[in-house]
């Protein structure tokens, strides 16, 4: 990785926050100056590499902007990782490994993929730990050692807890947990490959009676579609007539008159509030809450995951 890329990334992890989408989705007068003319940095390949290891597509932009330090934000429907160039440049010698720069970017992407930017409460310790765990998971998948995955936190994190961020020890533990989860998957895959290992051993949210009550009743209960076992049905408010299902191989499939087509997949996150995310070319990302509700990237409820 080029040295200039590391200098761009080094400051993002110190106080980087998951800013709630409500705070940036509809900027007021004067807010435009805060994000005026952001400059893209040369981290596009790194973003793609991080996203590839979790099986998703790169839908993030990293840009310089007039923010205090760094943040994962949604601005006018687009997902960004924003950073203060002056702040970053002042820390360009603080981290001494290329993996530290990657972990910073992975942490911020973790805020997006775990649904933290849907929250109206701003940064909190739980969200930061989940983003740290995501970072550790990603770096192991990319080939980093545990020491390399923890390098940024060891160099930059405060020892004590703050109101928004955990202390160094807790964050190192979270990174270690993510790293070890990835290590276990790598070892297991070498013995017995399973489809879509990020969710193969996980339990889907329980669709409670209250959740099922708000969903449109399925016209006919199905356990199989064209030979594929069905776990859940996806009911979208904007298209209640669509027959969309999650299969046991965690593919997202759509039943049509011509047959069944695969339109996306279900991925596991490490978020306590949104344990899964649905990705499809039809609707980008939909976050799955613990009670089976589907939220779009702006935090609006758009459907429900029900029993098939």
The predicted-structure confidence for 26-41, as pLDDT tens digits, reads as follows 333 344 344 444 444 4
pLDDT above 70 for 15: no
Whether the CB-CB separation of 101 and 95 falls below 8 Å is answered with: yes
Per the confidence metrics, is the pTM higher than 0.85? no
Q: Tokens 């400059």 correspond to what residue?
A: 39
**Across all residues in the chain, what is the average pLDDT?**
74
What gap in Å lies between CA 178 and CA 277, rounded to an integer?
Answer: 18
> What is residue 20's predicted lDDT score, i.e. its pLDDT?
40
The predicted-structure confidence for 75-84, as pLDDT tens digits, reads as follows 887 888 876 6
Interacting residues of 57 by C-beta distance below 8 A, sequence separation 6+: 51, 279
Closest to 89 measured CA to CA, from 61, 107, 73, 69: 69
What gap in Å lies between CA 1 and CA 97, rounded to an integer?
Answer: 10
pLDDT above 80 for 253: yes
Beta-carbon-side half-sphere exposure of residue 204 (alpha carbons within 13 Å): 26
DSSP per position, 18-81 = E--GGGTSS--TTHHHHTSS-EE-S-HHHHHHHHHHTT-----EEEE-SSSSEEEEEETTEEEE
User: Strands 61-64 and 78-83, how do they pair?
Assistant: parallel
What gap in Å lies between CA 267 and CA 275, rounded to an integer?
Answer: 9
SS3 for 162? Answer: coil
In DSSP terms, 80 is beta-bridged to: 61, 73
The predicted-structure confidence for 175-225, as pLDDT tens digits, reads as follows 999 999 999 888 876 764 444 444 444 466 665 444 443 333 333 334 456
What gap in Å lies between CA 66 and CA 36, rounded to an integer?
Answer: 7
């Amino acid at each position: 990785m080029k040295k200039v890329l590391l200098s761009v990334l080094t400051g993002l992890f110190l106080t980087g926050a998951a800013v709630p989408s409500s705070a940036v989705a509809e900027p007021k007068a004067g807010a435009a100056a805060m994000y005026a003319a952001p400059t893209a940095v040369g981290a596009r390949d790194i973003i793609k590499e991080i996203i590839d290891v979790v099986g998703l597509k790169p839908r993030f932009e990293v840009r310089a902007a007039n923010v205090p330090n760094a943040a994962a934000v949604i601005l006018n429907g687009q997902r960004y990782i924003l950073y203060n160039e002056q702040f970053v440049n002042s820390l360009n010698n603080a981290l001494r490994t290329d993996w530290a720069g990657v972990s910073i970017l992975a942490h911020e992407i973790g805020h997006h993929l775990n649904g933290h930017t849907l929250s109206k409460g701003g940064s909190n310790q739980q969200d930061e730990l989940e983003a740290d765990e995501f970072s550790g998971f990603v770096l192991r998948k990319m080939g980093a050692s545990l020491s390399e995955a923890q390098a940024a936190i060891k160099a930059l994190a405060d020892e004590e807890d703050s109101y928004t961020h955990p202390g160094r020890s807790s964050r190192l533990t979270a990174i270690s947990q993510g790293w070890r989860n990835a290590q276990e998957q790598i070892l297991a895959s070498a013995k017995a490959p399973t489809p879509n290992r990020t969710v193969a051993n996980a339990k889907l949210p329980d669709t409670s009676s209250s959740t099922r009550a708000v969903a449109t009743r399925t016209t006919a209960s199905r356990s199989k579609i064209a030979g594929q076992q069905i776990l859940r049905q996806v009911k979208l408010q904007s298209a209640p007539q669509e027959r969309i299902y999650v299969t046991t191989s965690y593919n997202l499939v759509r039943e049509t008159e011509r047959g069944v087509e695969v339109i996306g997949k279900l991925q596991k996150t490490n978020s306590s509030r949104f344990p899964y995310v649905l990705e499809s070319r039809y609707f980008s990302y939909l976050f799955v809450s613990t009670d089976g509700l589907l939220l779009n990237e702006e935090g609006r409820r758009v459907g429900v995951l029900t029993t098939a």
